[in-house]
Amino acid sequence: MKNLENYPEVLTVDQMCEILQIGKLKAYELLRTHTIKCMRIGKKFIIPRASVEGFLDSIIRGIAVDLYGNDQD
């Protein structure tokens, strides 16, 4: 995984794609559905690096729950 501290506090869609290793269509879907929190100014998305970090953390927690059976009924 890329070291996110090397990225600016506010990311472009291209930077987000690079970090997550996804294409632009999936990136825009994550932004439009507010899965990754962002702000839109005109046609431009303002993506806080912290939002991408939070998204990755939630995925990691979800994988840990699936692997170790924590929090399952």
Residue 36: CATH number of its domain: 1.10.10
What pLDDT does 65 receive?
61
pLDDT digits (tens, 9 = 90+) for 13-53: 999 999 999 999 999 999 999 999 999 999 999 999 999 99
Q: How many domains does the chain have?
A: 1
Instruction: Establish if 45 belongs to a structural domain.
Output: yes
pTM beyond 0.85, yes or no: no
The C-alpha angle 65, 70, 73, rounded to 5 degrees, equals 110
Task: Determine the structural domain holding residue 42 and report its residue range.
Answer: 7-68
Q: Taking 60 as the threshold, does the pLDDT of residue 1 lie above it?
A: no
For residue 66, pLDDT beyond 90 = no
37, 48 Cβ separation under 8 angstroms: yes
Residue 68 confidence class, pLDDT cut points 50, 70, 90:
low
